[in-house]
């Protein structure tokens, strides 16, 4: 059974939305409303991407680790979209309310916002649980796959497990608030490397096809 080809348009879309996510989380790109478009698109693009990755990796011998990792990551990216939309909705609505309020009301709104914002933090941890578990399983499959290699699989497992450990240790706070590093962008870099490797694998497969 031949492996499914990785759509170049999907790879480009993945690079764009991951780049926008990394730029927004690291402060390299402006945090205006226009940047919300690619960030909101990350979840749906990632779900489609996971289906494509599953097809490629299952072409030889589908495993329970691959199936479980795919399902966990699809759930994770749905949770990510829910988290980001709720986060931005609450933040923007409260910002507009405070802008038109007097000083005492603005202070009250600021206090209320602090409490409401904890909801999206809980969603963030839920996302991390599914995301890190799924990414670990997917990286494990790649670790034993000849087209991806131990370095890519090892990097994925190490970054996902480290991210999960930091989030559990600092719960109910996020690692950044506890003086620790946020490894979320590091896992984003891993996904970029996966996309690049898949494009390289696709080119190598095309070059092996004998001319008609």
Q: Residue 147 belongs to what domain range?
A: 8-204
Query: How would residue 2 be classed by pLDDT, with cut points 50, 70 and 90?
Result: very low
CA–CA distance, 192 with 32 (Å, rounded to integer): 24
pLDDT band at 33 (very low <50, low <70, confident <90, very high): low
Name the nearest CA neighbour of 107 among 94, 92, 120, 88. Answer: 94
- Kindly tell me if the per-residue pLDDT of 23 is higher than 80: no
Q: What is the pLDDT of residue 28?
A: 58
Separation between Cα atoms, residue 141 and residue 170, nearest integer Å? 29
Report yes or no on 2 lying in a domain: no
Residue 113 DSSP SS3: helix
Residue predicted with more confidence, 201 or 189: 189
Residue 210 lies in a domain: no
Does residue 71 have a pLDDT over 90? yes
Q: Ranked by mean pLDDT, which of 64-78, 143-157, 163-177 comes out on top? A: 64-78
161, part of any domain: yes
pLDDT at 210: 47
Q: What is the spatial distance between Cα 53 and Cα 135, in angstroms, rounded to a whole number?
A: 12
Name the pTM for this structure: 0.83
Residue 115 in any domain: the answer is yes
Lowest mean pLDDT among 11-15, 57-61, 134-138, 204-208: 204-208
Domain count, the chain: 1
Asked, for residue 3, whether it belongs to a domain, the answer is: no
Q: Is residue 140 part of a domain?
A: yes
Instruction: Quote the pLDDT of residue 87.
Output: 84
For residue 4, pLDDT over 70 is answered with: no
What is the distance between the alpha carbons of residues 193 and 121, in angstroms, rounded to a whole number? 28
Domain membership of residue 105 (yes or no) is yes
Residue 212 lies in a domain: no
């Amino acid at each position: 059974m031949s492996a499914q080809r990785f759509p170049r348009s999907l790879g480009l879309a993945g690079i764009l939305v991951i780049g926008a996510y990394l730029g927004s989380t690291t402060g390299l790109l402006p945090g205006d409303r226009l940047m919300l478009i690619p960030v909101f698109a990350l979840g749906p693009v990632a779900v489609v991407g996971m289906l494509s990755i599953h097809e490629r990796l299952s072409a030889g011998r589908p495993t329970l680790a691959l199936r479980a990792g795919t399902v966990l990551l699809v759930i994770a990216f749905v949770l990510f979209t829910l988290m980001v939309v709720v986060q931005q909705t609450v933040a923007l609505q409260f910002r507009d309310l405070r802008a038109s309020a007097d000083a005492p009301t603005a202070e009250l709104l600021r206090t209320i916002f602090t409490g409401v914002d904890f909801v999206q933090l809980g969603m963030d941890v839920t996302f991390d649980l599914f995301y890190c578990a799924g990414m670990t399983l997917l990286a494990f499959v790649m670790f034993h796959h000849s087209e991806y290699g131990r370095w890519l699989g090892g990097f994925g497992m190490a970054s996902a497990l480290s991210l999960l450990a930091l989030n559990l240790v600092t719960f109910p706070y996020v690692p950044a608030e506890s003086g620790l590093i946020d490894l979320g962008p590091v896992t984003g870099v891993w996904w970029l490397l996966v996309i690049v490797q898949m494009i390289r694998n696709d080119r190598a497969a095309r070059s092996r096809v004998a001319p008609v």
